[in-house]
């Protein structure tokens, strides 16, 4: 099973149509072989969620800027042996939250900064950043200054439950 993961698209009715077309074209390319798309909130408007659903089956949670009443704040599903949660803003007590829902992977958004990180309580955190309003990752000593790039993530879970996940920078 392969997931295409994005968040914080912030597309509204007054967004430039050519930029929307460019984004959908990029998503069609990078998500061409995914089984499902996961949007971790702040899609903003129903019409853009429908555009994403035109690529493939999509699940989406509600972000703090979303105008779509039908979206849930949190969702959980399983692939193989992994329980995967999706939320827009990380909860205050992350360890207790992941334990309560028995999560192995937690997908989130809100920061606009891409992240693939394991925790000391054995949960993989995934944040795809933002394809439209990216923020640079946190600067680390000894590394070059990070650059804000439009991004999404893919997550593959193979038949042996082996994970591989990649941050993909878009050309937008």
Please, which pLDDT band fits residue 20 given cuts at 50, 70 and 90? Answer: very high
Please, which pLDDT band fits residue 138 given cuts at 50, 70 and 90? Answer: confident
Domain extent listing, the chain: 2-169
CATH number of the structural domain 2-169: 3.60.21.10
Looking up tokens 């950043």, which residue turns up? 129
pLDDT tens digit sequence for 41-87: 999 999 999 999 999 999 999 999 998 999 999 999 999 999 999 99
Please, which pLDDT band fits residue 137 given cuts at 50, 70 and 90? Answer: confident
Q: Is the pLDDT of residue 172 over 90?
A: no
User: Mean pLDDT, the chain, as a whole number?
Assistant: 96
**Average pLDDT of the residues in 82-106:** 98
The answer to whether 98 and 118 have CB atoms below 8 angstroms apart is no
Name residues whose C-beta falls within 8 Å of residue 162's C-beta, 6 or more positions apart in sequence.
none
**SS3 for 87?**
strand
Could you give the CA distance from residue 110 to residue 57 in angstroms, rounded to a whole number? 22
Phi, psi dihedrals of residue 165, rounded to the nearest 5°: -140, 145
pLDDT confidence of residue 67: 86
Please, which pLDDT band fits residue 142 given cuts at 50, 70 and 90? Answer: very high
Rounded to two decimals, the pTM is: 0.96
The answer to whether 73 and 61 have CB atoms below 8 angstroms apart is yes
């Amino acid at each position: 099973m392969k997931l295409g993961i994005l968040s914080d698209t912030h597309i509204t009715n007054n967004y430039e149509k050519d930029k929307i077309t460019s984004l959908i074209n990029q998503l069609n390319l990078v998500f061409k072989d995914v089984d499902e798309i996961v949007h971790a909130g702040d899609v903003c408007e129903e019409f853009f969620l429908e555009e994403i659903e035109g690529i493939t089956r999509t699940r989406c949670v509600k972000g703090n800027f979303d105008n779509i009443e039908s979206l849930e704040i949190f969702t959980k599903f399983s692939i193989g042996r992994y329980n995967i949660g999706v939320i827009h803003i990380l909860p205050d007590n992350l360890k207790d939250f992941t334990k309560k829902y028995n999560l192995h992977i937690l997908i989130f958004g809100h920061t606009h900064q891409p992240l693939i990180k394991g925790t000391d309580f054995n949960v993989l955190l995934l944040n795809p950043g933002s394809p439209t309003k990216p923020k640079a990752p946190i600067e680390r000593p000894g590394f070059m200054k990070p650059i804000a790039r439009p991004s999404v993530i893919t997550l593959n879970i193979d038949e042996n439950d082996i994970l591989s996940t990649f941050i993909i920078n878009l050309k937008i």
